[in-house]
Amino acid sequence: MFDAWEMELHGHTVVYRVMGSGPPVVLIHGMVNSSRHWRAVAERLADRYTVIAPDMVGHGDSATPRGDYSLGAHATVIRDLLSALGIERATFVGHSLGGGVAMVFFWQFPERVERLALVSSGGLGEEVSPLLRSAAVPGFRHLIGLVANRVVIRALRAAGKQARNVARALQPLDTRGARDAFVQTLRAVIDVHGQRVSADDRLYLLEDTPLLIAWGERDRTIPIEHGSAAHEAVPGSRFVTLPRAAHFPHLEDPDGLAAALGDFIETTEPGDLDEARWRDRLRGRSPARLRPRAAARSRSAGSWPKMLV
C-alpha cells in the first residue's frame, strides 16, 4: 500500500507516502499534483526500492501556510523531512516543477544526491504553455477562485472526458489556501514571458552525478527540446522519450517511466560528491572567479585572500 504518513516540521504538517524496501528513491511531484499521482510508478519500483513521495508544502494534504514557496524553500523542507526519517542519501526523481526542486536540492545538498532523474522538467528553458504564463497575470488568483469550487468541479466530472480532465486539475485548488499556495509557487518560477528560473548556467555541476532526463513525446506544456538540450549539455547523461506520454508520464505511461527509472538506477553507480570534489568542479569550470576583480587590484597583497580553503 502507498500509505500516507504525516510529520510536523517547523510547526506545519507535511504529508508523505512510503512503499517498498531497498535503496531510497524520492519522487517529487509537480504543480497541482501530489504524492498520490506517483502511485502507479511507486508500485512498479517498490519491489526493489524504498519509495518516498512527499506532498510539498502548499500541495496535496500538506499544510498551506502563508510563507516562502520558492524552489529553495521546497528543497529545504524535503531535506528536513528526509533527515527526520533518517535518510541521508537517495536517488531523486522530479516531475515538472518537481524537477526544478530536485535540481535546486542538488545545488544545495549535493552530498545527499546519488542520482538525479528529471521528468518533463521545468527550469531548463524559458518556453512554457500559454496557460501557465496566463496564470502569472494579476487577477488570476480571483479567477481561479471562481472556477475551482466544488459546484463547478462536480459539473465537470459529469461531463465528457476532456471536462473530467479539467476537473482533475482543478480539484486540488478547491480551498483558498491551496489556491494561494499554487499562485505563489507558480509566480516564483513563471511570469508572463515564460519560465523565469533556469538551470542552464549550472548544468555543468551535474557531470559527476548520474543524470536521467525523461520526456513525453506529446508534451505541449514544456517543450521536449528543453530535455534534449540539457542532455547535450551534460556529458554522460541519458535521454529517454516516451511516445505514449504528454506532460505527465507518471500518469500517462507509468510502465515506460518506471522501466526507464529502474534501468537507470540498476546500471549506474551512485554519485558521491564531497566538498572537495564540489569545489574542484566549481573551480574547474570558472577559474577566473578565483582572481580579484580589476577594480579591487589596488588592495594590498596581504589583505586579499588568495585561496578560500
- The model's pTM is 0.80
Residue 162's pLDDT is 44
Supply the residues annotated as catalytic.
Answer: 96, 219, 247
Segments forming the whole domain that contains residue 187: 128-196
In a domain, 182, yes or no: yes
For 294, the grid coordinates are 580589476
304 falls within a domain: no
For 187-225, the three-class secondary structure string (H helix, E strand, C coil) is: HHHEECCEECCCCHHHHHHHHHCCEEEEEECCCCCCCHH
**91, 16 contact by CB (below 8 A):** no
Q: Is residue 13 in a domain?
A: yes
Provide the phi-psi class of 187: left if phi over 0, else alpha when psi is between -120 and 50, else beta. Answer: alpha
Q: What is the pLDDT of residue 192?
A: 66
Query: What pLDDT, on the 0 to 100 scale, is given for residue 256?
Result: 97
- Other Cβ atoms closer than 10 A to 73: 18
DSSP of 54-81: E--TTSTTS---SS--SHHHHHHHHHHH
Query: What CATH number did the domain enclosing 121 receive?
Result: 3.40.50.1820
Same domain, 139 and 248: no
| Contact between 41 and 1 (Cβ < 8 Å) | no
C-alpha separations of 97 from 62, 122, 169, 197, 302 in Å: 17, 5, 15, 11, 47
Angle at the Cα of 35 from the Cα atoms of 74 and 212, rounded to 5 degrees: 75
CB-based contact 7:14 (threshold 8 Å):
yes
How confident is the prediction along the chain (309 residues), in pLDDT tens digits per residue?
Answer: 889 999 999 999 999 999 999 999 999 998 878 999 999 999 999 999 999 999 999 888 898 888 888 889 999 999 999 999 999 999 999 999 999 999 999 999 999 999 999 999 988 876 766 665 555 556 555 445 444 445 434 443 444 444 344 434 545 566 666 667 777 677 666 666 666 677 788 899 998 899 999 999 999 888 899 999 999 999 999 999 999 999 999 999 999 999 999 999 999 999 988 888 888 888 875 444 445 555 444 444 444 344 443
For residues 266 and 260, give the distance between their C-alpha atoms in angstroms, rounded to a whole number: 10
Residue 100: closest CA among 193, 189, 202: 189
Question: How many domains are there within the chain?
Answer: 2
CA 225 to chain CA centroid, Å, is 18
Q: Are residues 178 and 241 in the same domain?
A: no
What pLDDT does residue 133 have?
53
